[in-house]
Structure 1
Amino acid sequence: MTKNKESNNKKNCLIGPLNSIERNEKAFQVRLEAAASQMILPLTKHPCNGDEQLYPTKIGSFTKGLPHNSHGTVDLQAYNQFIKALKTGKERHFESIPLGGDVKLANPQAVYAFDLAGTDCHNLGIAVPPSFNSAWQAGEMAELYWQALTRDVPFLEYGSNPLTMEAASDLSSFSDFRGPKANSKVTTDTLFRGDTPGDLTGPYISQFLLKDIPYGATTIVQRYRTTVTSSDYMTSYDKWLDIQNGSIPAAPLFDPTPRYIRNGRDLGEYVHQDFSFQGPLSACLVLLSYGKGALDESNPYLKSETQGSFITFGAAHILDLVTKVGRAALEAAWFQKYLVHRRLRPEEFGGRVHNHMIGTKCYPINSELLNCKVIGKIFKKFRSYLLPMSYPEGCPIHPAYPAGHAAIAGAGATILKAFFKESFEIPNPVVSSSDGLTLLPYSGEPLTIGGELNKLAANISLGRDTAGVHWRSDGIEGMKLGEAVAISILRDYRATYNEKFSGFSFVKFDGTPITIK
């Protein structure tokens, strides 16, 4: 018998509700309907704060890495080439951008990437950020100065430390400061925190950044490498200008003892060294260790008498989505950064404040910042008005708004809230000791999965502010953008499951409930 005859005599062993042709057609239909549902969405408008058009010298725009003059003002020819490359998307135009030093721009061509699940990154919108001369921006910059001054204050001591008490009082005086408050005042209990449900409950640091992480056949203890006390950078003008022009910085000074995250410096270093979806992945592994009781009640396998979850609605499913959304969230953030806002980084704004205060330039900086208490404290300690940075290199070489870390954290937290029971109370909660060497029992108000996931997203987002590389609004709006990315992906995948499933239900960062059916 020939090989062809043998092949023809073999039976097709496929069983199931659909034959091969039907399955192929159904797979096409699922993909087609997902694409069609995205195609009919209204097109999103993308307004900006107008700073790039308002200031011809681009003092309100991101220019780091390009050549600058002695005042830190960008070379306009270089900036125009940068804009030309973004407008055309052509490789040769990107390769023609003049740089001021050795540091390269961070992946601007990622803004043109497409994804095959969820809403296209160019059709997701965010709020307009503060303008250069606004009271809103003044309040955000004052907060960053205070975060720099209080990096070494343990979170456990915020209520009694003179610096954090001063910070709360000073920030309360700003007319448009948008951080959380109690009775219309910033307090040491609300200081530097996020504004999502659960953010103000319990310790500053989320349980998911403190608890041991089950990692396969081992356990990861969350004591991390941090930097030494008072290791602040870019406080001299010459060093600041070198970094703006793209020079290579010195290495950071590391503490030889790993510690639990106990203060702003530790948190800033965590979000300096973490990989993209590290925080959400760690939280996922901790949550999976809590068993079925922590799963959302809509999970179709919780009531099954004969089946357990795995590839769908189980660990493999959740781990896949919590990591998958990270890249999509970055695509959405990069689009906003490069093609819409091009917002300057806080370190760049600090250079404007410094030159204005010493009289070498005059900038339209809001008077609330120029006359606030923290300005004088910064100068007294560092002999400049520059923003002291946690990282020797300062911020990354891409625009500020929105924060990529925040978008990833917001997307990851949203996936986890969709799969796990938000009201589930975290067992045996802990708080880091003031020296970061031990974990202490926490016995206050119960901490829930939903609240601690929100807090995790805020810790990761605002931890970048503590380091000096982002603004509060970068983080808050970045979280919302990541949430929108995750919701759109959950909605596309909703049609792919065979199980009888009532949909994903959870509470959004703004406190409103949502169900994805």
Structure 2
Amino acid sequence: MQHNVNSPRSPGLPDASGGGPAVGVAEAGTAEPAPTNGAEGRVPVPSLDGRGFARRARGYRIRIEAAHRAYAEPFPRHRNNGEHEEPYLASYSKGLPHDEYGEVDLDAYALWNRALAEPSVDAFERVPRGLDDGRPQLNPLSAFGLDVEGPDTHGLLCPPAPRMDSPEFAAELGEVYWMALLRDVHFVDFDDAPALVQAAADGLSAFSGYAGPTQGGRVTPRALFRGTSRGDLAGPFISQFLLRDVHFGTHTIRQRQDTIEPVDYVTDFGEWLAVQRGAERDTERDYAHTRYIQTPRDLAHYVHYDQAYQAYLNAALILLTSGIPNAELLDAGNPYRTTRGQMGFATFGAPHILTLLAEVDARALKANLYQQYVVHRRARPEAIGGRIEVQMRRDPGRYDGLIHPELLESDALERTRAKHGTYLLPQALGMGSPMSPEYPAGHLVVAGACTTMLKAFFNEDCPLPDPVVPDRAGTGLVPYTGSDAGRLTVGGELNKLAANIAAGRCMSGVHARPGTYQHGIRVGEQVAIGILRDQKPTTHEKGTFGLTTFDGERITI
């Protein structure tokens, strides 16, 4: 590894090859004898002198080894699904000029491509906007930033998204349409299988490319919109970490949130076109009436206004103040799990995990935005809804072969047209989707990263006692009395939390599952594992981090 001339090697440190001290400075590292505190007991007192060289050498070696972990292997060859061709019908173009069909202006898209190839603030400022007062793009330059902890974000692989003409994409978008139709059904009613819930389960089972959770080979009301990891099917739909009180210092946070009216947006083609061009649209919030998350619309509302790592910070605080003894709560590798005379704090304790959640959030978002802007640049489901509306009503046949027939013939689309008068995908929020490409979902990459961090610190098999669900009004919590109430664990509810966040973004209409869930969450997982591997050598304790991946593999760091 070559040193940068602007960062000369400090004298007295090992060279970058991992060898011993530099020639001529070994004598400087000779340790002086440790002083004592008197002749009687001759108890050693830690020396403040003579040990600087050894510490500097160790710290330098740790940093070099971290760099080797990040850059020893060549970066993977990133591939998209091959849909980035004129007229860019399956590519992200929100906020740029569009014609009357919602197809992007090719000259504007050429400047967009150029800015992504030669990124700078000025290059992106030169890209034409669909509206002078339209919404700005979401931080595309962060995709090109670097980090000095964890894996390089350009070295993480996210497989190509399903093509728009594939049965897999038909199933993904079909699920988002069903989610929109069920936005105001209570989660506690899913198991009772009201007619619309059963229709959604049957409709998803009919898609040949569906890859979400099933029971006995079919989608059931119990499996509907849930995740595919251990614990996702146990207990209530909503994770306990989105319901229980959060004790934050002297504050107690009840997880009741403000509400929005049961109104769907962007169901008119003129409105849809304005939104594609970057129009800002408000969603009125009712701050006076609060309730716990109890419907898909509530969950969609939560994941629109949250800070990306908020749910996981809350989960950590819930666990840290749960009263569960450390011997049961902490991961088996935590060195303070059973100690009596000392406790973890800056290492293996509360400040350690809370800080890492914020660190991994920022790094996961950089990884996500690189994949979104540079590699895949996939159009949002909202945009594809416009293609469907053109194909089915405004200009039949214009997009023949572009969209899989299983989607065009699905019951979800017909129910949507009957309810709203168009085939557009109804949005839960007035502004529609965020100003960035769809794949992978940023909330999902952060979910994978933050839940992995939490699983590394806490015992995943620890039971979570006394599960709760919202009451019918949504203003209080009542005991969950299902037959599986005793099967809820820390790991299962963390997996469910990630799945809830994934579902909430799709229930908004801004992402599609399960592809973005299965791949995006693993990108975040790799970010967290890389940071943990960099963190472990910096601790003096001989503890470890153990966790179960979303694929079910148990690893120890």
TM-score, reference length from structure 2: 0.88
CA distance in 2, matches of 1:134, 1:441: 43
Aligned CA distance change for structure 1 residues 78 and 442 (closer, same or farther; 3 Å):
same
Does residue 451 in structure 1 map to residue 492 in structure 2? Answer: yes
* Superposition deviation, residue 41 in structure 1: 2.4
CA distance in 2, matches of 1:255, 1:189: 32
Q: Deviations over 1:303-339 (max 9, x none)?
A: 3343211111111111111221000000000000001
Aligned CA distance change for structure 1 residues 168 and 23 (closer, same or farther; 3 Å):
same
Unpaired segments of 5 or more residues in structure 1? 1-11
Q: Deviations over 1:258-298 (max 9, x none)?
A: 11000100000000111121011000000111341311121
Q: Equivalent of 1:475, from 506, 510, 517?
A: 517
Q: Equivalent of 1:509, from 529, 543, 550?
A: 550
Q: Name the amino acid aligned to 1:372.
A: S
Q: Name the amino acid aligned to 1:451.
A: G
**Deviates further, 475-484 or 447-456:** 475-484
CA distance in 2, matches of 1:326, 1:312: 19
TM-score, reference length from structure 1: 0.94
Aligned residues: 501
Does residue 435 in structure 1 map to residue 477 in structure 2? Answer: no
CA distance in 2, matches of 1:353, 1:152: 24
Equivalent position of 1:80 in the other structure: 110
1:265-284 matches, within 5 Å, as 265-284=297-316
Whether the 8 Å CA contact 1:228–1:255 is kept in 2: the answer is no
Q: Name the amino acid aligned to 1:371.
A: E
**What SS class does the counterpart of residue 459 from structure 1 fall into?**
helix
Equivalent position of 1:227 in the other structure: 260
CA distance in 2, matches of 1:391, 1:475: 21
Whether the 8 Å CA contact 2:332–2:546 is kept in 1: the answer is no
CA distance in 1, matches of 2:180, 2:287: 18
**What SS class does the counterpart of residue 431 from structure 1 fall into?**
strand
Measured on the aligned residues, the alpha-carbon RMSD in Å equals 1.6
Aligned CA distance change for structure 1 residues 319 and 59 (closer, same or farther; 3 Å):
same
* Superposition deviation, residue 474 in structure 1: 2.2
* Superposition deviation, residue 247 in structure 1: 1.3
* Superposition deviation, residue 438 in structure 1: 1.8
Unpaired segments of 5 or more residues in structure 2? 1-34, 36-44
**What SS class does the counterpart of residue 226 from structure 1 fall into?**
strand
CA distance in 2, matches of 1:39, 1:81: 32
* Superposition deviation, residue 141 in structure 1: 1.0
**Deviates further, 428-437 or 234-243:** 428-437
* Superposition deviation, residue 42 in structure 1: 3.7
1:343-422 matches, within 5 Å, as 343-360=378-395, 362-363=398-399, 364-422=402-460
Equivalent position of 1:197 in the other structure: 230
Equivalent position of 1:328 in the other structure: 363
Whether the 8 Å CA contact 1:419–1:504 is kept in 2: the answer is yes
**What SS class does the counterpart of residue 455 from structure 2 fall into?**
helix
CA distance in 1, matches of 2:358, 2:386: 37
**Deviates further, 255-264 or 165-174:** 255-264
**What SS class does the counterpart of residue 546 from structure 2 fall into?**
strand
Equivalent position of 1:3 in the other structure: none
Equivalent position of 2:5 in the other structure: none
**What SS class does the counterpart of residue 111 from structure 1 fall into?**
helix
Does residue 287 in structure 1 map to residue 291 in structure 2? Answer: no
Q: Structure 1 segments of 4 or more deviating over 6 A?
A: none
Whether the 8 Å CA contact 2:258–2:285 is kept in 1: the answer is no
Q: Deviations over 1:24-62 (max 9, x none)?
A: 222111111111222212421211111113xx2100101
Equivalent position of 1:4 in the other structure: none
Does residue 316 in structure 1 map to residue 351 in structure 2? Answer: yes
* Superposition deviation, residue 23 in structure 1: 1.9
Could you say which structure has the larger radius of gyration?
A: 2
CA distance in 2, matches of 1:450, 1:110: 32
CA distance in 1, matches of 2:288, 2:218: 39
CA distance in 2, matches of 1:117, 1:173: 45
Does residue 177 in structure 1 map to residue 210 in structure 2? Answer: yes
Equivalent position of 2:243 in the other structure: 210
